[in-house]
A = this chain, B = another copy of it.
Amino acid sequence: MNEYALRVIGRVESSLTDRASAPRQADEGAPDAWLVFDDPYGPALRGLSVGTDVLLLTWLDRADRDTLTVHPRGDVTRSRTGVFATRSPDRPNPIGLHEVHILAIDGTRVHVRNLEALDATPILDVKPLLTPDR
């Protein structure tokens, strides 16, 4: 078996709508955004806390999946690098990984700070940060 089907569990609600103008990293001016989970996944959110940081995994559905090498940050003066050594959204499996700070939780809606994902981006998963024993 060489293909698996992802399930979209929710969507990003953001004022970012245009890839060309989106910041490349969250610390380059990304806006706050809402994570809107589909109702059946409400129980999976239990235990998330306002004021904590989590990892958000998204599916970068506007990425090019056939790109294997890029000029880092689109700078053609830099030599081509394999996409696995970069954070280009263009890659075989365009999974976005975002460290976000939870500002508020309202049912299955989670408000987060500085998210560099476009409006309507599919949500795949939320995980604790990579620290022990959680």
Contact = CB atoms under 8 A, between A and B. Distances in A.
A97 B130 contact: yes
Nearest to A122: B4
The SS class assigned to the A binding surface is mixed
- Give the oligomeric copy count: 2
Interface pairs A-B: 8 shortest CB-CB:
A47-B85, A46-B82, A84-B126, A47-B81, A44-B68, A44-B82, A43-B68, A93-B124
A2 B80 CA distance: 33
A72 B128 CA distance: 12
Given A97-B130, A132-B27, A4 B82 contact: no
A60 to B, nearest CB: 10
Interface string A15-51: 0000000000101000000000000010111111000
B85 A48 contact: yes
